[in-house]
Structure 1
Amino acid sequence: MAERPTGGPGLRTALGTLSIPLRFLLLSSFLIPLGSFMVLPFMSVFLHERLGMGLGTVGVVLAAASLVQFSGGIAGGALAERIGLRRTMLWALVVRTAGFVGLLLALRWPPLAVGALILTCCGAALYLPANKAYLVHGVDEERRPAFLSAGNAALNAGMAVGPLVAGPFVLSSPGWLFVAVTALFVLVTAGHARLPAPSGEALAIADEGRQGLLSGVALLPFVANGLAFYLYFHFQHYLAVYAVERASSEFYSLVLLLCFALVIVVQPLASGAIRRMPYGLALAVGFLGLAAGLAVLAVGNRPALLAGGALITLGDIVLFLKNDLEALRRSPRSDAVVFGQQRLAAGIGACASGVLGGQLYGAAEHAGDAGWFWLWAAAQCLLLPPLLVLLRRPAADLPRPHGDTEGALTRP
């Protein structure tokens, strides 16, 4: 049978088969980051200006929260393997809702703010692997990229809209904002309570046994994902200070909106082509896109900021989706555990970027030209990925057997 063309009718046909529970899950994939990003992007301002924390303390708190939110995904995947996808998502949303209640209470008792923030990040860590696994449960390999990219598009749309909605109210009316976000999460949690458990899930859970968190990890996609996030987070962490100095905070927001829009529009349309692309070629295309974008940022003017952001986003569209697809193909573990392992790699990469990138940016700024930071980051995109060749096809990193349907939670 001939493959469907990328995007266009093929994409619409794939998404047109979504059941009502999956449509609700995609809606939730928009509403959850919408609510979260009405609050979380402004936490540094809230903690510092509203609650009076020093900037050094704020930095430590946010670093710890980011590490929990990313790397804690491996615990979320393991929990889903033990108790099921629906129950894991439900408990994760209960935890996250409690975190937003804690932020509301922190307006009266500020010490609660740190614990509440960490609680919301724990909920995010538990939720995302189960969400992705539920979305692709029982879906054949050809349609998985379309489903995953649709979820990513919904996620990015929520992340883009949230700050725009909440910006005027974060400092002026944070209480009402936290109440609104908490109410949104209560409604989403109630909806998840009505989701059906995936067919065959109980049998699959029983068959999994108790394996280690990193057992069966697909090593090459794991390391490639960590490296991709390490390089991408040079852009994520440090573009704000670089762009605001050379343009304005409003123009920085415009760059971010462009990046979100590209993910929302391009990734679903390109998902079929990314699936068919050989893994080595996808890595080359993705890392070259990151390298080109980071190098362009060194120019430092407004067109360069837009062009650099666009190139970096196109690179990560290929890398992030292909790494997840390849990890699913190679690992014998359940989908939720695979997504959790990939989140762990992302957390390690993002954390390393925060620590090492901060030193590099400070050194470049001290030398009088922060543009050198972007050139050094671009050079890493060219120098580090070839080392991945050393990890290609180890004996324990074998593809899943096609057509094996034992345990519906484990593989389609």
Structure 2
Amino acid sequence: MAERPKGGEGLRTALSTLDGPLRFLLLSSFLIPLGSFMVLPFMSVFLHERLGLGLGTVGVVLAVASLVQFSGGVVGGSLADRVGLRRTMLWALIIRTTGFLGLLLALRWPPLAVGALVLTCCGAALYLPANKAYLVRGVDDEHRPAFLSAGNAVLNAGMAVGPLIAGPFVLSSPGWLFVAVSGLFVLVTAGHARLPAEAGEERPGDGPAVRPAPGGEGLLPFAANALAFYLYFHFQHFLAVYAVERASSTFYSLVLLLCFALVIVVQPLASGLIRRMRYATALAFGFICLATGLAVLAAGTRPAMLAGGALITLGDIVLFLKNDLEALRRSPRSDAMVFGRQRLAAGLGACASGVLGGQLYGLTEQAGRTGWFWLLAAAQCVMLPPVLLALRDRPAKHPDPLDDSQGALRAYDTDRRLSGR
């Protein structure tokens, strides 16, 4: 029996099969977040300082925009099933380009900025499920993790580079910045119009074979994804306030760069290993990494913030990829619908984290004990995952030999109690 390719070898083998359209799609997966993150991370500053909106209003606008961007993925998946993957991506990019042009016009008429921002988020919601489904269409289960992790890597690279390019211009020359981003999206949209429809559009009888699905069509991956995003976004939402107070905005940027770099480098190399892991082993590993990283943040020192960010990122690398792979395996629905449902789970988790985590951080800040916020978040990483046992599915007719989610989750719960965690 031939030896299975591992690590970077498996990744290179899978990616060597990419044709021209899929290579363009991976390039777009870098350019789209590059352009988006030249603008979106600075929207709170832009709306407040440049357009004069109150902070309370800014918070509500950003919360609504984030919920639309994540949860609208269900609509994106459904639309892709109806009109095809390429057409869905094309319309999504047209909508998003219109949103960035609206931000340019908002420099003359500020109220337009809110609608423009929501429009860009609608485009993002429609685009991502179709993008992922196009990328993995026709790819066998063994190579899907490599394709998905490659897409995640270039996406995170774009997210990391975008703010570095735009930072000096977002307040001093926002007009030119919005023109540049809109122009970039026009070019990317034109490229998508040339993608071959036959490679990406779903047709009756031409989709992937129906997968054996446990009862509930994979409720466990949906719930696990929502929980993972809820816990992870404690870090995403509130590290900035915590880190800037104890170090500086420059150091906070350094922590984010470390996290992006880990996703870019580690996830593609580890994608084969993550695919072969039992599902609940991956869940246990991911949630333990999150718990440890959040607890380390409580120390409040610079090394602790770097180490905590690294551990949290390792946890999300495993959780987010494995949940997507497990949802694909368990659901008989199209890939686009599966990715849309997973985006909905992410949106619900991120929204809950903002609402509940914000209240919790406010209470600890008033008490002068913000370190306790991270310890309480870490405690949730230990106490909440065993609740997923209640959502376990009925055994599949053809179970994956690598999966034993019920038994492994019980083992995780037993280990937790025996170790006193």
Q: 3-state SS of the aligned residue for 1:204?
A: coil
The answer to whether the Cα contact below 8 Å between 1:226 and 1:349 also exists between their aligned partners in 2 is yes
Q: Report the count of equivalent residues.
A: 395
Identity rate, percent: 81
The answer to whether the Cα contact below 8 Å between 1:329 and 1:399 also exists between their aligned partners in 2 is no
Question: Hey, what does 2:317 align to over in structure 1?
Answer: 317
Q: Any unmatched runs of 5+ in structure 1? A: 209-214, 403-412
| Separation (CA, whole Å) in 2 of partners of 1:202 and 1:221 | 24
**Correspondence 1:45 to 2:56:** no
Q: 3-state SS of the aligned residue for 2:204?
A: helix
Question: Hey, what does 1:211 align to over in structure 2?
Answer: none
**TM, length-normalised to structure 1:** 0.93
What letter corresponds to residue 159 of structure 2 in structure 1? M
| Separation (CA, whole Å) in 2 of partners of 1:18 and 1:219 | 32
Deviates more, 1:305-314 or 1:359-368: 359-368
Deviation at 1:400, TM superposition (A): 9.2
| Separation (CA, whole Å) in 2 of partners of 1:401 and 1:164 | 43
Question: Hey, what does 1:365 align to over in structure 2?
Answer: 365
**Correspondence 1:106 to 2:103:** no
**Correspondence 1:193 to 2:193:** yes
Question: Hey, what does 1:298 align to over in structure 2?
Answer: 298
Q: CA RMSD in A?
A: 1.8
When residues 56 and 398 of structure 1 are mapped into structure 2, their CA distance, relative to the original with a 3 A threshold, is farther
Mapping for residues 217-236 of structure 1, pairs under 5 Å: 217-236=217-236
Question: Hey, what does 2:407 align to over in structure 1?
Answer: none
Question: Hey, what does 2:270 align to over in structure 1?
Answer: 270
Question: Hey, what does 2:162 align to over in structure 1?
Answer: 162
- CA deviations on 1:341-396 (whole Å, 9 max, x unpaired) are 0000000000000000001101111111100000000000000001111222236x
- CA deviations on 1:186-244 (whole Å, 9 max, x unpaired) are 00000000001244845338989xxxxxx974200000000000000000000000000
Question: Hey, what does 1:408 align to over in structure 2?
Answer: none
Question: Hey, what does 1:123 align to over in structure 2?
Answer: 123
When residues 253 and 401 of structure 1 are mapped into structure 2, their CA distance, relative to the original with a 3 A threshold, is closer
When residues 84 and 400 of structure 1 are mapped into structure 2, their CA distance, relative to the original with a 3 A threshold, is farther
Mapping for residues 367-386 of structure 1, pairs under 5 Å: 367-386=367-386
Q: 3-state SS of the aligned residue for 1:109?
A: coil
**TM, length-normalised to structure 2:** 0.91
Mapping for residues 183-262 of structure 1, pairs under 5 Å: 183-199=183-199, 201-204=201-204, 217-262=217-262
Deviation at 1:6, TM superposition (A): 2.7
What letter corresponds to residue 36 of structure 2 in structure 1? S
| Separation (CA, whole Å) in 2 of partners of 1:375 and 1:217 | 34
The answer to whether the Cα contact below 8 Å between 2:86 and 2:200 also exists between their aligned partners in 1 is no
When residues 363 and 202 of structure 1 are mapped into structure 2, their CA distance, relative to the original with a 3 A threshold, is closer
| Separation (CA, whole Å) in 2 of partners of 1:200 and 1:112 | 35
The answer to whether the Cα contact below 8 Å between 1:82 and 1:205 also exists between their aligned partners in 2 is no
Moved over 4 A (4+): 205-208, 397-402
Question: Hey, what does 2:7 align to over in structure 1?
Answer: 7
| Separation (CA, whole Å) in 1 of partners of 2:320 and 2:245 | 30
| Separation (CA, whole Å) in 2 of partners of 1:310 and 1:8 | 21
| Separation (CA, whole Å) in 1 of partners of 2:272 and 2:200 | 28
Q: 3-state SS of the aligned residue for 1:203?
A: coil
| Separation (CA, whole Å) in 2 of partners of 1:61 and 1:190 | 30
The answer to whether the Cα contact below 8 Å between 1:330 and 1:398 also exists between their aligned partners in 2 is no
When residues 200 and 368 of structure 1 are mapped into structure 2, their CA distance, relative to the original with a 3 A threshold, is closer
- CA deviations on 1:248-307 (whole Å, 9 max, x unpaired) are 000000000000000000000000000000001000000000000000000000000000
Q: 3-state SS of the aligned residue for 1:110?
A: coil
| Separation (CA, whole Å) in 2 of partners of 1:322 and 1:256 | 22
Deviation at 1:3, TM superposition (A): 5.6
The answer to whether the Cα contact below 8 Å between 1:6 and 1:271 also exists between their aligned partners in 2 is no
The answer to whether the Cα contact below 8 Å between 2:77 and 2:338 also exists between their aligned partners in 1 is yes
The answer to whether the Cα contact below 8 Å between 2:85 and 2:200 also exists between their aligned partners in 1 is no
Question: Hey, what does 1:34 align to over in structure 2?
Answer: 34
Question: Hey, what does 2:411 align to over in structure 1?
Answer: none
When residues 205 and 34 of structure 1 are mapped into structure 2, their CA distance, relative to the original with a 3 A threshold, is farther
What letter corresponds to residue 149 of structure 1 in structure 2? S
The answer to whether the Cα contact below 8 Å between 1:106 and 1:112 also exists between their aligned partners in 2 is yes
- CA deviations on 1:95-153 (whole Å, 9 max, x unpaired) are 00000000000000111000000000000000000000000000000000000000000
| Separation (CA, whole Å) in 1 of partners of 2:136 and 2:388 | 28
Question: Hey, what does 2:419 align to over in structure 1?
Answer: none
What letter corresponds to residue 79 of structure 1 in structure 2? L
